[in-house]
Structure 1
Amino acid sequence: MKMSQAIRASETLLNEYKGYIDSMDAIYKLNSDEINSTAGLYQEIKNNLIDTGYFTAKEMIELIGNACNEGFHYRHGYIELMKRILEEYFADNIDISFFSQYDDVKINSPEYAIMNDNEEELLDHLKSKSFYLT
């Protein structure tokens, strides 16, 4: 296969799976924790990943859950996406409540600073308190 043929073949594949690729990128690049910030992304996921048959609703929720674990400080956005899928596709047998267990972490605490990747706030907490490491 010549280089020009390989380039054309790769361009064809990239064009064919553009919606899939862009939607997967958007899931892992979610950068908002605002309520209702995920409506556009949900439509992308629905149209490009679930309705096309690439993923079932359950598989998509598992994938979003994995992304949530990696981008944990935007967990409310990921939880909102999972809830939208649960509502639309009636996936009742899936429990996502464990993602909300971290809602009890108090604002202005070292744990909150860690969850939100706020190094400056964490350093302030570490400087202002005595920690006994055993």
Structure 2
Amino acid sequence: MKRPLSAALLTVLVGSTTVVMAPTAAAAPGCTTVKDAITGASGEITICVEADGRARVKGNLVDTLPGAGFGTPDGVCAAWWIDWATTTGDSSGFELVVCGQWDDSPEEVFDYDPSAGENGVRGITGLNEVKLNIMRM
């Protein structure tokens, strides 16, 4: 499973990121589903926010231009960007990234709790925005 990126890797990626906006969603506790397809990426994501500060993220993500190698032929990765509302403010980042040119498969099916682990998002109160993106590497 592709989990949130480390801060160092995210810094490198954001410097060369091309963001393509997809529909946005807003929610308090409850579920939101976004399904989208753009050049280079497609997927569906369901995010369920619980009243206790946890959430569940399920769905799939496909790099539709998997190519081969760094920057060749496309250097594009697919990514879901999630902007959480939390008890301490907003927390956002590339939650899931699939790079078909490097991964075993250009598709990732996922089901996880973003608040789990030592680097998990704490005190989730809602969802500000979710976008399907591509990242040029």
What TM-score range do you get, normalising by the shorter chain? under 0.3
TM-score (norm 1): 0.26
**Larger RCO (CA under 8 A, 6+ residues apart):** 2
TM-score (norm 2): 0.26
Q: Which has the higher helix share?
A: 1
